[in-house]
Amino acid sequence: MKKILLFLTLTLSGLALGHQLQAQSPTVPQGTASPKTSLAIGSAMPLADKALHDVVTGRQISPNKLKQSAGTLVIFSCNTCPYVVKAQPRTREVLKLAEQLKIGVVILNSNEAQRNDADSEDAMKAYARQHGYAHYLVDLGDLADAFGATRTPEVFLFNAENQLVYKGAMDDNPANPEEVKQLYLANAMNAMVSKQTIDPTSSRSVGCSIKRK
């Protein structure tokens, strides 16, 4: 009898512990990405030669093909995120500055979970036309994974040697562009081209999560 009671006690304890561990295990909501490690400052651009579909031109094009003499700016974006919409005037300013400084621009949409809806290729094409994008590339998630990008908008600035020199947000107030005091990205672009120190080299990206299948 004692052996039976001991066996039942151990069995019930094991079941309780199993339920406790299961309750403590972190879960990833469906349609969102697992946490990725963000690309470190100084790293080379990953997958720079990977061909991606450009909804504007209808051609396959790689980030390296869009690189200009001073470097490359990579922007993870989408069509409907409120933070992207709020940042659109700032984005237009950044695109204009990049053209002046001879920095190529790669705008990526990695929202695979919404590819048949708000981030379909037709919707991307209309959004690009509305905001004057020269290129708007479809990322199946490979580049978002390689960069460790998790938000829209989120930016990565590379110098002429394809080394990462700045990453994160475009400015210090993504939620309220009218209250912006520090233009992180524009300052980094100007400093990079003039060979001055970039400070800060990173900031916390604020926006909508990249939507995964």
Q: Are 113 and 81 in contact (CB under 8 A)?
A: no
pLDDT at 176: 86
Q: What is the mean pLDDT of residues 187-198?
A: 98
Q: Which of 22-26, 76-80, 139-143, 175-179 has the lowest mean pLDDT?
A: 22-26
**C-alpha to C-alpha distance for 162 and 66, rounded to whole angstroms:** 12
- What average pLDDT is seen over the chain? 87
Query: Domains (ranges, CATH) in the chain?
Result: 32-209 (3.40.30.10)
Side chain identity at residue 177, one-letter code: P
The SS3 call for residue 128 is helix
Residue 87 pLDDT exceeds 70: yes
> Residue 5's CB: how many other CB atoms inside 10 A?
9
pLDDT (tens digit, 9 = 90+) per residue, 31-76? 344 447 999 999 999 999 999 999 999 999 999 999 999 999 999 9
**C-alpha to C-alpha distance for 121 and 115, rounded to whole angstroms:** 7
pTM of the model: 0.84
Angle subtended by helix axes 88-101 and 121-131, to nearest 10: 70
Buried-state track 97-116, b at ≥16 Cβ within 10 A, e below 16: bbeebebbbbbbbbbbbbbe
